[in-house]
Amino acid sequence: MSNADLPEYLPGFTPWPQQAAAHYRAAGYWTGETFGAILRARAQQYPARLALVCGVRRWTYAELDQRSDQLAAGFARIGIRPRDRVVVQLPNIAEFFAVCFALFRLGAIPVFALPPHRRAEISYFCAHAEATAYVIADQDGGFDYRQLARQVRAEQPGLQHIIVVGQAEEFCALDSLYDQPQTFAEARPDDVAFLQLSGGSTGLPKLIPRTPDDYLYSIRASAEICGLTADSIYLCALPVAHNFTLSSPGSFGVLYAGGCVVMARRASPDDAFPLIEAERVTLTALVPPLAMVWLDAVNNRVNERAGGGHDLSSLQLLQVGGAKFTAEVAQRVGPVLGCSLQQVFGMAEGLVNYTRHDDPEQLIVGTQGRAISAADEVRVVDDEDRDVTPGEVGHLLTRGPYTIRGYYKAEEHNARAFTADGFYRTGDLVSQLPSGHLVVEGRAKDQINRGGDKVAADEVENHLLAHPNVHDVALVSMPDAYLGERSCAFVIPRGVVPRALELNNFLRERGIAQYKIPDRIEFIDRFPKTGVGKVNKRVLRERIAEQLASAGKSL
């Protein structure tokens, strides 16, 4: 089938209203460029420059470009077609980019999964996106992804291809797909290029449709705000497919600028510091708990050279985001690491806020930045969607040239997650300074932000409710000095009181990511209720926080 036979947009995608789209084009935000074409342009501009460093492998722009072409041909040969959805779950390896750009060139649609996702999540992505292929690495971090693929395939008959980087066993080896390049018609710049993940707040994670027009605008603008050039060297330390690492400005931003992306398998100082030294890394992005680990690693080795024995002097910028970075820790970054700090408050749904390099110190340390674009509409409202008095805390709503108008195939949820006039309800509670900078003050969504890993409370609750000895359950956050928050499940038992360990094993057997397993389980006879009879999670949060404080375990 040629692309001309396909419906205008991917079914399940909510395009921007025509008027808004016309405005974003006329104003130059949307340029009609595509991912595949940009890589081609960079390969022509800088064929011999390094695009990727991964272990001992060093790929130039020409090589990345060629590998993407070859893989596109190989994917087409085995039957992957335009608009097919392909779940991509890879660790931080160079192949991630060859696979993505190959799929973009083919007009197929990657669905980004994260390495910790297990059977329940991957099966759901495959089912919801009706994926025909799943790309994995053979193993990583002691986990065998082929074993996971076998389980997923047994549950998902629509999955026709399992493609493996490394030892493929009974599956298809990625290395066997480097065919002779062919020319393909890339998808339209205003249609879905990939599906990104949301941390979610209700039920299963939502899929976020992003187009080349909107995503490339956010990448281009981010690259400019962060001062990227062809000399930028980015350490990709967080999971590569995370929206922060991919686009704020992340590895895509660095490739857009013609710079070099250095892949770190892990973000620990032991893995990252030697790479920073060896490759002269200029910027990187971390979640707050990792930033704290880096600061401590440098501090703890004061007798050695700064950097815990490694020369980190090339590092100009450390970006921190994904969860709230407290001002006390933020102010240590400059003195300890000898580089600038940028706070980043973003979301895979769109809106990204950055502190700017010329902001006064107190804004860099004490706020989560301001929106990328003059075209970002940011509102702070009360429970009735009325604007609060400037400076007051309220719900953050946003609309703009790179913020989606709907999740993929989620009509019912979209009616709640967006206002009638298309503003996304972020679920974040913020206050806004006259400069436009936002301070994240809390959260209205029923989610736990475990140091940047988002856990939707009712997703975990639903899994626990399947246990025969669980009558009811409420998952809430509890304060944690390191992760910011951890999760605590309050369980009303049925019959025999189960052991916490048994419940955790039960969840693991159901195939959910480790970070979603409750950090603590408390048994309770009944829940405190709100006036309207709902479980009062605020009271539960206070109860566990007090309990921890009196046990001397919290901050």
Residues that bind ligand AMP (CB under 6 A): 198-199, 243, 321-324, 343-349, 368, 426, 428, 440, 443, 449, 454
Beta bridge partners of residue 32, listed in sequence order = none
Whose Cβ is closer to ligand DBH: residue 70's or residue 247's?
247
Tell me if 440 sits within 8 A of 343, measured CB to CB.
no
477 binds, among ligand AMP, ligand DBH, none (CB under 5 to 8 A by kind): none
Query: For ligand DBH, which is the closer residue by CB, 208 or 476?
Result: 208
74's tokens = 């190989």
If contact means CB under 5 to 8 A according to the sort of partner, which of ligand AMP, ligand DBH, none does residue 140 touch?
none
Residue linked to tokens 């006259």 = 434
Minimum gap (Å) between residue 435 Cβ and ligand AMP: 17
Out of ligand DBH, ligand AMP, none, which partner does residue 440 contact, by CB within 5 to 8 A per kind? Answer: ligand AMP
Instruction: Give whichever of 84 and 376 is closer to ligand DBH, judged by the CB atom.
Output: 376
Q: Phi and psi at residue 222, in whole multiples of 5°? A: -65, -45
User: Which CB, 300 or 326, lies closer to ligand DBH?
Assistant: 326
| Spatial CA neighbour of 350 closest among 401, 403, 418 | 403
In the complex, what is the shortest distance from the CB of residue 477 to ligand AMP, in angstroms, rounded to a whole number? 12
Task: Give the DSSP H or E segment for 78.
Answer: helix 61-78
- 277 touches which of ligand AMP, ligand DBH, none (CB within 5 to 8 A by kind)? none
As a whole number of angstroms, the distance between CA 442 and CA 423 comes to 19
- Return the one option of ligand DBH, ligand AMP, none that residue 352 interacts with (CB less than 5 to 8 A, by type): ligand DBH
Of ligand AMP, ligand DBH, none, which one sits near residue 426, judging by CB under 5 to 8 A according to partner kind? Answer: ligand AMP
The residue whose Cβ lies closest to ligand DBH is 346
Smallest separation, CB 46 to ligand AMP (Å)? 31
The listed partner (ligand DBH, ligand AMP, none) that binds 463, CB under 5 to 8 Å by sort, is: none
CA 118 to chain centre: 16
Binding site for ligand DBH (CB under 6 A): 243-244, 247-248, 321-322, 344, 346-348, 352
Question: Between the CA atoms of 76, 80, 81 and 86, what dihedral angle is there, to the nearest 10 degrees?
Answer: -130
Q: Contact, 376 vs 398, CB < 8 A?
A: yes
Nearer to ligand AMP, 159 or 457 (CB): 457
Which partner, ligand DBH, ligand AMP, none, binds residue 248 by CB below 5 to 8 Å per kind?
A: ligand DBH
Report the alpha-carbon angle 62-66-67, nearest 5: 120
Of these partners, ligand AMP, ligand DBH, none, which one is at the site of residue 518 (CB under 5 to 8 Å by kind)?
Answer: none
Considering Cα of 384, then 390, then 392, then 396, what sign does the dihedral take? positive
- C-beta closer to ligand DBH: residue 353 or 431: 353
Tokens of residue 117, six digits: 């996702």
Beta bridge partners of residue 479, listed in sequence order:
485
The length of the chain is: 555
Give the shortest CB-320-to-ligand AMP separation in angstroms: 7
Alpha-helical segments (H) within 258-377: 269-279, 288-300, 327-337, 361-366
CB 378 within 8 A of CB 345: no
- Quick one: 395 or 443, whose CB is closer to ligand AMP? 443
Between 269 and 322, CB nearer to ligand DBH: 322
Residue 484 CB, shortest distance to ligand AMP, in Å, is: 9
* CB closer to ligand AMP out of 293 and 492: 293
Non-local (6+) Cβ contacts of 470 within 8 A are 464, 491, 492, 493, 494, 498, 503
Residue type, 213: D
